[in-house]
Amino acid sequence: MTLSRSSLPIEIQKLIIAFSSLPGIGPKTAQRLTFYVLSQNPEETMKLSEALKDVKNNLNYCQNCFFITNDESVSSCNFCKEKDSASICVVENIVDAITIEMSGIHSGTFHILHGSISPMNGIGPENLKIDQLIKRIGSKSTQEVILATNPTLEGEATSMYLSNFIKENFSGVNVTRLAKGLASGTDLEYSDFNTLSNAFENRTNIN
């Protein structure tokens, strides 16, 4: 008799399916992880289970910057409190905000859109935290909005949409976009036309 996955106990099958739903995890890896969990002592497994529960139960999105927070009051979080509110850096996702924050180059606040405009996937401005950004710009003394969306087609579309909207509705607000061009360590000969043209457009004086 050959052993198939369906002949495994239902609990095992459920866990394999649950692991398979994670990004980058295929059925083989999911199976390996499941049997690893099974071989662990109960305390270790409970720790993992509790951590997963806590992530969903105890965390919220801050209603100001849309970063994750475990603060009960979600109107502002530790990530956006006591920061220079005159400058808002707009990013696509939380990881981008963390990367910029860890570099220490931006002293202002962030606004996380939780995605980017992607017509072919049916994602429009109404599916992102754009209304909340507009309200934020309108209600506070915002002087600059830094558009730090990814230099991809979707990121550029989001950035163009936002810059058009902000320029039309908030004339006093300065809208800037992160510079684009050659990345450190690249070879000029492999650069595409788009990157080269951006690099030439944004070239700087050497004093």
Partner 1 sequence: MKKRGAYTKGLISRCTKYKDSDIIFTLLSEEGGIQNFIARGAKKPSSKFSGHIEPINYIEIYYSGNSSLPAVSQVQSVNSFLNIKSDYNLLMKAQYLVELSEKFFSDDTNYESQLNRLIDTLNELPKTNHSELVVLVYEYELLKSYGFGLRIFECSNCSVQLKKTSHYFSVNNSGFYCDNCLGEMKTNENMIKLSVESQVIFRSIERRNYKNLSSLDLDNISISDLSKILKESISNVLGVQLKSSRFL
The residue within the footprint of partner 1, chosen from 40, 73, 107, 121 (CB under 8 A), is 121
What does the angle CA 130 – CA 148 – CA 196 come to, to the nearest 5 degrees?
130
Which of 184, 204, 205, 207 touches partner 1 (CB under 8 A)? 184
Decide if residue 156 touches partner 1 (CB under 8 A). yes
Segment contacting partner 1 (CB under 8 A): 49-57, 90-98, 99-107, 187-195?
187-195
Select the residue interacting with partner 1 from 193, 203, 205, 206 (CB under 8 A): 193
- Tokens 């909207």 belong to 165
Residues 10-39 within binding reach of partner 1 (CB under 8 A):
24
Exposed (0-12), middle (13-18) or buried (19+): which is 165, by Cβ within 10 Å?
A: middle
| Residue whose token pair is 């920061």 | 83
- Residue 205 is a binding residue for partner 1 (CB under 8 A): no
Min. distance of Cβ 87 from partner 1 in angstroms? Answer: 24
Residues in CB range of 25: below 8 A, 6 or more apart: 19, 33
Does residue 95 belong to the site contacting partner 1 (CB under 8 A)? no
| Interacting residue with partner 1 among 190, 203, 204, 206 (CB under 8 A) | 190
Residue for token digits 């099974």? 38
H/E element, 53: helix 42-58
Report d(CA 44, CA 60) in Å as an integer: 26
Q: Does 195 bind partner 1 (CB under 8 A)?
A: yes
**SS3 category, 78:** coil
| Beta carbons of 191 and 184 less than 8 angstroms apart | no
* Nearest partner of 165 among 113, 120, 201, judged by Cα: 113
Q: Does 161 bind partner 1 (CB under 8 A)?
A: yes
Contacts of 139 (CB under 8 A, 6+ apart): none
Kindly tell me which of 45 and 191 has the beta carbon lying closer to partner 1: 191
42 is a contact residue toward partner 1 (CB under 8 A): no
Q: How far is the CB of 77 from partner 1 (least distance, A)?
A: 28
CB of 24 to partner 1, least distance (A): 6
Give me the residues that bind partner 1 (CB under 8 A), please. 24, 119-122, 124, 152-153, 156-157, 160-161, 164, 183-187, 190-195, 197
